[in-house]
Amino acid sequence: MKSIRSPFFWAFFIAVTLSGTCSVAAIRAVPGQFFPVFDYHNDWLVYNDQYKNYVPFSQGVNEGTRFASLYIDLIKNRRYSLLVQVENEGYLFLEGALQSKLSPGKWQELSIDSLYKVYRKDELLLTIYGSPGVGDKTVLLCNKKKQSDSGIVTNTRSGFINIKPISFSPFGNFAGIALVIILILNVWIFNLNPLSFIRLINPIEFFNNDPRDQLSKINKPYSNTVIFFVVISAMMMSFVVIYFSINKVNLFSVSTILSEKANTLQILGDFCILSLIFFLLIYAKYVCMVLAGNMLNLDKQVDIIFIKIVQSSYLFYAFAFLVIFALSFNHINWLDASRPYILFPFLFFYLARFAGLYVVAKPTGSLINLYLFSYLCVIEIIPLIVSMKFAL
């Protein structure tokens, strides 16, 4: 009995050992210059329409899907390379953008360091489109041992196809509608009072301090032209704040009053609410300016300063609106790199406006000069300091 069991035991042991060796050999069947570190075979994801997110690939449920995705950690895997291979013809996508065509049986190398320099993200979404299932798709994290191997197709940024799909995001639809609304209001104001409109959008007029030709003599803060300029400025401020909020830059905790996972109509509703809030804040500032001006005997300067504040705000936020509109429609990812400096343009603008207002107000004497400086500090510098403290 012992003589029978012994051959069976050794036969079973040898079979198991050989099968394990074959499986390891299959996993490590990579070009000689690479040493496999991690196989992503069990990490495949598919997009689920019900949850609006990526979920793990299920062999019994998702066998027919032709798209399979992976999240690649670019921070932890620095200095490594990704090797991608398909048994049937396929296409490689990074962050939803088509990068290259995958030839059957050929390895394609992607440097993690190069991907991090290009995308500046902690995680990268890699997607392969090809035949159904994931059995013919292989993605390995490897350590490169030497530089050249004829069996590898090296993928550099210059060789990317980089065809991005057309994106119809709720914010993109909203941005188009907001642009049309703002353009209509500008055209309406121009037809209503073309001379005042042209002077208000002219940056040179901001520095005009001729007492005989002041804009405030023609346009009062409560005139139709100035009111609609304030309305447009409030709309452009709201657009900028909504853009930052959607891109996870929560200025003044405004996301608490915005809709979560909003569609286009909900974003438009938030846009109207924020525009009303900014409009009321601007005219609340005018009321405070009148009160402070009466106390400092500067009531004659109040209308001049308010008109120039409205004019400068319109010009600055119109420029910011156009820049953000162009960047968002061209899908340029700039916020990740500039997030720590996002408030610098606003800080520079308000400080420059403070200096400009002090110059163009043209004080007539040292006492009035001191009063004017104190007045501008109350209406400009103090609100700016408080705002910067609670902005982020």
Does residue 293 or residue 276 have the better pLDDT? 276
Query: Is 80 exceeded by the pLDDT of residue 309?
Result: yes
- Assigned token pair, 121: 């993200």
Q: What is the mean pLDDT of residues 125-150?
A: 80
Identify the three-state secondary structure at position 69.
strand
Compute the average pLDDT of residues 352-356. 89
Q: Locate tokens 């950690």: which residue?
A: 73
Task: For residues 163-184, give the mean pLDDT.
Answer: 78
**Quick one: what percent of the chain has pLDDT higher than 70?**
79
**Exposed e or buried b for every residue in 331-359, given b needs 16+ CB within 10 A?**
eeeeeeeeeeeeeeebeebbeebbeebbe
Most confident of 113-117, 258-262, 282-286: 282-286
Q: How far apart are CA 139 and CA 177, in angstroms?
A: 42
Is the Cα dihedral 297, 298, 303, 309 positive or negative? negative
Give the pLDDT confidence of 25-71 residue by residue, as tens digits: 344 466 767 888 888 988 899 988 877 788 888 877 788 888 899 99
101-105, 122-126, 204-208, range with the lowest pLDDT:
204-208
What is the predicted pLDDT for the residue at 320?
92
Q: 124-138, 276-290, 300-314, 363-377 — which is least confidently predicted? A: 363-377
Give pLDDT, residue 6: 56
Residue 337's pLDDT is 66
Contact 120, 335 (CB under 8 A): no
Spatial separation of the C-alpha atoms in residues 31 and 145, rounded to whole Å: 10
The domains located in the chain, with CATH, are 33-159 (2.60.120), 170-390 (no CATH)
- CA pair distance 344, 389, nearest whole angstrom: 13
pTM, entire model: 0.59
Give the Cα separation of 366 and 209 in Å (integer): 18
DSSP letter assigned to residue 134: S
Quote the CA–CA distance of 194 and 183 in Å, as a whole number. 15
Q: CA-based angle 366:371:376, to the nearest 5? A: 125
Tell me: pLDDT of 23 over 80: no
pLDDT given at position 98? 86
Q: How far apart are CA 170 and CA 119, in angstroms?
A: 23
Cite the DSSP H helix spans in the chain.
2-27, 112-119, 170-192, 194-200, 215-218, 224-246, 264-295, 299-329, 335-338, 344-360, 366-376, 382-390
pLDDT of residue 78: 84
- Cβ distance 361 to 301 under 8 Å? yes
Q: What percent of the chain has pLDDT over 90?
A: 21
Per DSSP (E only), the strands in 90-135 are: 90-94, 97-102, 107-111, 123-129
Q: What is the pLDDT of residue 156?
A: 44
Burial label, 173 (beta-carbon count in 10 A; 0-12, 13-18, 19+): middle
- How many angstroms separate the Cα of 295 from the Cα of each of 299, 339, 365? 8, 41, 18
At residue 367, the pLDDT reads 58
- Band (pLDDT 50/70/90 cuts) for residue 10 is low
Residue 9 is predicted with a pLDDT of 52
Q: Is the pLDDT of residue 181 over 90?
A: yes
Fill in the amino acid letter for 175.
Answer: A
Alpha carbon 213 to its chain's center = 43
Is residue 169 very low, low, confident or very high in pLDDT (cuts 50, 70, 90)? low
Name residue, tokens 């106390």: 295
What is the average pLDDT across 305-310? 90
Residue 176 clears pLDDT 50, i.e. is over it: yes
- Which conformational region is residue 208 in: left (phi greater than 0), alpha (psi within -120 to 50 degrees), or beta? beta
Mean local confidence (pLDDT), 343-368: 80
Question: In terms of DSSP bridges, do strands 67-73 and 123-129 run parallel, antiparallel, or are they unpaired?
Answer: antiparallel
- pLDDT for position 257: 74
- Which residue has better confidence, 202 or 156? 202
Provide the pLDDT for residue 21.
Answer: 41
Read off the pLDDT of each residue in 365-387 and give the average, rounded to a whole number: 77
| pLDDT for 154 beyond 70 | no
pLDDT of residue 373: 80
